[in-house]
Amino acid sequence: MLATHRLRALGQSVWLDQITRALVRKGTLQRYIEEYGVSGLTSNPTIFDNAIKSSQDYDASIAEGLRRGWKGERLFLSLAIEDLRAAADLFRPTFEATNGRDGWVSLEISPEFAYDTEATIHAAEALWREAERANLFIKIPGTPPGLPAIEESIFRGVPVNVTLLFSREHYLAAADAYMRGIERRIAAGLDPRVGSVASLFVSRWDKAVLGRVPERLRNRLGYAVALQVYRAYNEILSSERWQGLAAKGAQPQKLLWASTGTKDPAASDVLYVETLAAPNTINTMPEETLLAFVDHGEVSAVLPADGKGAEELLAEFAAVGIDVAALAEQLQKEGAEAFQRSWRALLEHLNVREAELRAAV
């Protein structure tokens, strides 16, 4: 049995954190679905930037967009939606077979809205309606201004992938925003089944403290935080509040492990897959990590539902001067800024390609 199938057997979904037009159109994604059990897909501005600037696969669609008078952000979103619609259609059988619990793809709103609640709400609803796919998440950052936007989007029936979560406190705030949105839908007599996942970024923790902690703690901070969050996740699922919502038809906001590509060249290339095996969760991994895990990954341990060992490990980091709470806020801020830089670079590369295509006419 392939390692990815072992993850699925214990109840963890394997998603791909990658998209290119060739991946979707040339059968590679379909093969990953059939052979490796991949059951969902995530994207972000960096992924699309790399896809567009590294191939000519988008030229025909760019040219068509130019003929329609589109440019910049409007043109990019048309390209992204085209790809993600095609990917969503490949995952539709999974989505239907699991009654909406799996088989999703994700599209990010402009990172420029990370600290603008109203702009996020309007952009999320407009993008989701334009995409016209029931199994498409809109990614909204779990920043303080993003939280009310998550609640409102859920209330409006827009499925949300909450991104840029780094800590237990970030996760709990995102889960609360999701449940408030569901509670408002129930109070309004609306269907409580609105999909959502909460994406905890893992590897960036270890990159942030690389060289600042003793060797025994190297590449252990991301694991410790994930373990702490996994406990909080299970506590929410067993809470009276959530059980009441589930009894009325609501579906859990699954915990998703994001940023699972290894950053430390001295560490295992499947570190954040092997150590984060956990029932009722999702691991979205870069393509190279997926292929490495299929090739030589192992599933030998499962995260304890009670988060045993998390607090002791986090205390060790505190003892060597790592302020985990402060670092979580720093990582979220840096993550939002990094996505903004990627977004601007993407639009700049698109502008260059537009000019090249116009000059070739």
Q: Which residues are catalytic?
A: 139
- What SS3 class is residue 68? coil
What letters, b where the CB count within 10 A reaches 16 and e where it falls short, cover 121-151? bbbbbebbeebebebbbbbbbbbeebbbbbb
The answer for residues whose C-beta is within 8 angstroms of residue 31's C-beta and 6 or more apart is none
Residue 281 zone, left/alpha/beta (φ > 0; ψ -120 to 50; rest):
beta
Q: How crowded is residue 106: how many other Cβ atoms within 10 Å of its Cβ?
A: 27
The answer for residues whose C-beta is within 8 angstroms of residue 64's C-beta and 6 or more apart is none
Residue identified by tokens 């260059």 is: 352
- Minimal CA–CA distance to 47: which of 75, 72, 84? 84
55 contacts 20 by C-beta, under 8 angstroms:
yes
- Minimal CA–CA distance to 282: which of 16, 1, 6? 16
- What SS3 class is residue 219? coil
Query: How far apart are the C-alpha atoms of 283 and 211, rounded to whole Å?
Result: 27
Angstrom CA distances, 220 to 142, 197, 224, 337, stand at 24, 24, 6, 25
340 contacts 109 by C-beta, under 8 angstroms:
no
Query: How far apart are the C-alpha atoms of 171 and 142, rounded to whole Å?
Result: 8
Give the type of residue at 40: G
- Minimal CA–CA distance to 90: which of 4, 15, 186? 15
DSSP string, 233-253: HHHHHTSHHHHHHHHTT----
